[in-house]
Chains A and B, each alone.
Chain A
């Protein structure tokens, strides 16, 4: 239920943003993190970014997910 994954913000359009979540481009709502900028990493839960996160750690986690997938 409370599953959330890190993703990179690509483009911002008002209250929405395009993100790259493990290679998939999706549109999410950023009302809860209005200060987010392109290039930031966010934690995404059910189509909303709920927190801006540390870039370095996010990349590590994404690497880990990739390793799992392989």
Chain B
């Protein structure tokens, strides 16, 4: 182990000594993965408890949306472009993987620009990009919608499930009687776009520490230490550890792209329910590019799988080990709940990296 990591762990132990139980929630699936992969839970003192939040966009996409996307894929005139993680999620009857094996036009893309380029080259085909993700990804979709509008690329559509992070954190803070969160590790790449200001309410209104963290083991340990120091000095604030990427005002151009293309609306987070003002919808001017509008799709309420604890896990109330399906009927190769589906889902990360700690 590198010396600087050992020194950091020692300093964390010294600082945590004498403090009561501290529950730190990481609100980013990439952090959940990094914590598991580096074994950080195992090296932290007993009174520091890391809990995973609803930071995996694939996991919080509703079953109704998956069913709608599958319906779009069933039409041979449509071409679905998606990030790879979406393919495995089971809808109420099938998944995109199954549909693809049956011959549906479903393509995995690295960049949403690939979907747009395909639409330009194939004007007779209908292209639907599955627009998923938080503020890191939403500006990309916004840039393409602007381009589609300006170039009148009317065979390009998005199935939009974009969501924003701060209202979800506020929702978690208002559910704090259930999860008892002491502090937050905030998502570094979301904040590369938004800056730190939209997260200020965590300390200003709720009096909790928050640190915007990078993704290496060293970044995360440094951020945990910053949180502990804030607790010790009783000075909660929003600090930026990942300061070579995250600026206080973020990327104003990317924010402007989002503001010009999207309005803010309520959104359903799978396993949690409706969170006020946490979703992005296309402004009226751009509604023709919305697949849900143009293909007249509806939201049909589909019940969650029986006994699945994903809702409580996303809220930080339960750990995956406390779900009775975990590792039994629910595994990465046959996921029951959304947290086991995506590689960045809490249950999937625990299954892969934390299984010895039962």
| Residues of A in contact with B (beta carbons under 8 Å apart) | 1-4, 28-29, 31-34, 43, 45-48, 50-51, 53-54, 56-58, 61, 64
Structural contact, A47 and B244, CB atoms closer than 8 A = no
Q: How far is the CA of A2 from the CA of B187 in the complex (A)?
A: 9
Structural contact, B113 and A4, CB atoms closer than 8 A = no
In the complex, chain B residues whose CB is within 8 Å of the CB of A45: 136-137, 140, 189
In the complex, chain A residues whose CB is within 8 Å of the CB of B83: 1, 46
Structural contact, A46 and B253, CB atoms closer than 8 A = no
Structural contact, B244 and A50, CB atoms closer than 8 A = no
| Interface hub of B29, B137, B244 (most chain A Cβ within 10 A) | B244
Structural contact, B140 and A46, CB atoms closer than 8 A = yes
Does chain A have a CB within 8 A of B118?
no
Tally of chain B residues near chain A (CB < 8 A) = 38
Q: How far is the CA of A31 from the CA of B113 in the complex (A)?
A: 11
By Cβ-Cβ distance, the 6 closest A-B pairs, closest first, are A47-B111, A57-B244, A54-B244, A2-B136, A2-B189, A31-B143
Q: How far is the CA of A48 from the CA of B116 in the complex (A)?
A: 13
Tell me how far the C-beta of A42 lies from the nearest C-beta in chain B, rounded to whole angstroms.
10
**B132-152 interface mask toward A, CB cutoff 8 Å, 1 = contact, 0 = none?**
111011011001000000000
Structural contact, A33 and B114, CB atoms closer than 8 A = no
Known: A46-B110, A50-B189, A50-B254. A2 touches B140 (CB 8 A): no
In the complex, chain A residues whose CB is within 8 Å of the CB of B250: 51
Does chain A have a CB within 8 A of B192?
yes
Does chain A have a CB within 8 A of B193?
yes
Q: How far is the CA of A47 from the CA of B83 in the complex (A)?
A: 12
In the complex, chain B residues whose CB is within 8 Å of the CB of A1: 29-30, 56-58, 83, 85, 132-134, 136-137, 342, 344
Partner of A34, one of B140, B188, B245, B253: B253
In the complex, chain B residues whose CB is within 8 Å of the CB of A51: 192-193, 245, 247, 250-251, 254
Tell me how far the C-beta of A62 lies from the nearest C-beta in chain B, rounded to whole angstroms.
12
Does chain A have a CB within 8 A of B216?
yes
30 contacts between A and B (CB under 8 A): A1-B56, A1-B57, A1-B85, A1-B342, A2-B133, A2-B137, A2-B187, A2-B188, A2-B189, A2-B190, A28-B111, A29-B111, A29-B140, A31-B257, A32-B140, A32-B251, A32-B253, A32-B254, A33-B251, A43-B192, A43-B245, A45-B136, A46-B112, A48-B139, A50-B189, A50-B193, A51-B193, A51-B250, A56-B244, A57-B244
Q: How far is the CA of A54 from the CA of B188 in the complex (A)?
A: 15
In the complex, chain A residues whose CB is within 8 Å of the CB of B187: 2
Structural contact, B253 and A29, CB atoms closer than 8 A = no
